[in-house]
């Protein structure tokens, strides 16, 4: 499996000293409907350790940073890409190659 980072994201990571990306599964189960989504975000060193020790996430090291993935099965393509989108000054991580 290969992880790719878009140049815009690499610049942001270097400028803001971000190194670790975590992919979390968010589930909302209401009596009427159920929603399952992936949430991709940066974490600091303290949260990184919690994801590794308590939640037992898998760590993948890349030349540009680290990616933490949950232990439950996700549909991963051979190449997973991360990017950065900006809307009205708010930054958001994007991804391709990962499905629930």
DSSP string, 2-41: EEEE-HHHHHHHHHTT--EEEEEEEEEE-SS-EEEEEEEE
> Which tens digit of pLDDT belongs to each residue from 8-44?
999 999 999 999 999 998 887 776 777 778 899 999 9
The H or E element containing residue 51 is helix 45-53
- Give the global pTM: 0.87
- pLDDT tens figures, 54-97: 999 999 999 999 999 998 888 999 999 999 999 998 999 999 99
Residue 65 Cα to chain centre, angstroms? 11
| 89: its two tokens | 């000054």
Are 43 and 22 spatial neighbours (Cβ–Cβ below 8 Å)? yes
């Amino acid at each position: 499996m290969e992880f790719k980072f878009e140049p815009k994201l690499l610049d942001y990571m270097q400028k803001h000293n971000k190194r670790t990306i975590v992919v979390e599964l968010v589930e909302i189960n209401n009596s009427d409907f159920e929603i399952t989504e992936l949430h991709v975000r940066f974490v600091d060193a303290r949260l990184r350790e919690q994801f590794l020790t308590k939640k037992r996430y898998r760590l993948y090291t890349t030349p540009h940073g680290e990616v933490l993935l949950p232990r439950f099965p996700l549909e991963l393509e051979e190449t997973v890409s991360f990017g950065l989108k900006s809307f009205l000054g708010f930054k958001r991580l994007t991804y391709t190659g990962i499905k629930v």
